[in-house]
Homo-oligomer: A and B are copies of this chain.
Amino acid sequence: MKPIYNFSAGPAVLPQEVLQQARDEMLDWHGSGMSVMEMSHRGKEFMSIAEKTESDLRELVGIPKNYRVLFLQGGASSQFAMVPMNLLRGKTQADYIHTGQWSAKAIEEASRYCTVNVAASSESDRFTSVPPQHQWRLDPQAAYVHYTTNETIGGVEFHWIPEMDPDSAIPLVADMSSNILSRPMDVTRFGLIYAGAQKNLGPAGLTLVIVREDLLGNALPFTPTLFDYRIHAQNDSMYNTPPTYAMYITGLVFEWLKRQGGLVAVEKNNVAKAQILYDLLDKTDFYHCPVARQDRSRMNVPFTLRNPQLDDAFLKQAQVSGLMQLKGHRSVGGMRASIYNAMPLEGVAKLAAFMEEFASQHA
């Protein structure tokens, strides 16, 4: 096997141990004679997988009992509609924080169901920072406040959780698709958290939702049954057949995270990985990172070469060195190294060494 490091923004690298276990269990899960893909979702074998997957997540994060964990389909893009459809609760407006392309998509879809108040935006600095909370103009009539904890394309991350007025009872909603489980988090600060799986959790096709129970049961009348969180909560995510194999792989990722020492250890590793790249970017004029220091993402590190004519050579030589998928999103250009939980420190170190060498060759 060709040894490579895969810096794709998602679907993204998975832990080798997880893939090895999936390979070894492909034809026969735990002596059942079946692949997990072949199991009835209501059979005892898969039920045990589903239960362990949820309980491992609850343990990793520390999810309180009054929060439901839902394993859904449709990606974060479906959540962009499900959130307003379920959380407006008789209100007609919601607050959104605009920090880049993913929050923009959430805003666009929500605008079809309610009046969106963009309570803060970093558009004026081209989304290279997150707006500090003192600039936010929250609407006291908002049904909820939505923000994107990490902008995968811009490489901008919230390293703090917004403070909500405890008297207002307005829930905070977070799209955590690209940084969930990259650090410990206090679930009680949120009304609802959602994340597509294909960055930090597992395979594409699974969407995780963590929602406070009292927010369920208020879907708009025209909400499709499958878009009603309550239906999924009442049926333990088995109202219809869930994406069983994706849940199994995600469960293996949760077990792997526990073996790493849990989210405190994972965060430490993620800080170390990001530090290697940002230190390099800051000490050279050859590369440039556009993001404000205090808001730089630990998951997605965007950078440009000062001389963009070298972009193609950079990508080609990186690929020859086994450093894959470094091309930046087409909308922003340049490079992007996505270094989710499953990217080993060695991969980041190898990338940094390559970048230094490339810079010295072309200085």
Contact = CB atoms under 8 A, between A and B. Distances in A.
Interface of A: 1-4, 6, 8-14, 16, 19-20, 22-23, 26-28, 31-35, 37-41, 43, 73-78, 80-82, 85, 109, 112-113, 196, 198, 202-206, 220, 222, 224-227, 239-246, 249, 322, 324-325
28 contacts: A2-B28, A6-B38, A11-B38, A11-B241, A19-B37, A20-B26, A23-B23, A23-B27, A37-B203, A37-B204, A43-B325, A73-B73, A73-B74, A75-B226, A75-B240, A77-B225, A77-B240, A78-B226, A81-B224, A85-B224, A203-B243, A203-B245, A204-B242, A205-B242, A205-B245, A220-B222, A224-B224, A243-B246
Contacts of A245: 203-205, 245-246
Contact of A14 (B6, B38, B112, B220): B38
Nearest to A113: B222
A269 to B, nearest CB: 19
A73 B27 CA distance: 25
A142 to B, nearest CB: 21
Most buried by B among A76, A226, A246: A226
A325 B240 CA distance: 18
B37 A14 contact: yes
Given A204-B241, A245-B245, 19 more contacts: A1-B28, A2-B33, A3-B33, A8-B39, A11-B40, A13-B38, A14-B37, A19-B26, A20-B27, A22-B26, A34-B324, A40-B325, A73-B78, A73-B205, A78-B226, A203-B244, A204-B243, A205-B206, A205-B242
Contacts of A243: 73, 203-205, 243, 246
A246 B9 CA distance: 19
A31 B322 CA distance: 12
Contacts of A34: 4, 6, 324
Contacts of A202: 37
A13 to B, nearest CB: 5
A198 B239 CA distance: 15
Q: Which 10 A-B pairs give the minimum distances between C-beta atoms?
A: A205-B243, A81-B224, A4-B33, A23-B26, A77-B240, A73-B73, A2-B33, A1-B28, A205-B205, A8-B40
A31 B2 contact: yes
A225 B35 CA distance: 34
A27 B1 contact: yes
A222 B239 CA distance: 23
Contacts of A6: 33-34, 38
B227 A224 contact: yes
A14 B34 CA distance: 9
Given A27-B1, A37-B249, A77 B239 contact: yes
A4 to B, nearest CB: 4
A101 B144 CA distance: 38
A321 to B, nearest CB: 12
A39 B16 contact: no
Contacts of A226: 74-75, 77-78, 81
A336 B23 CA distance: 31
Contact of A41 (B11, B27, B28, B33): B11
A3 B34 CA distance: 9
A1 B77 contact: no
Nearest to A12: B38
B33 A11 contact: no
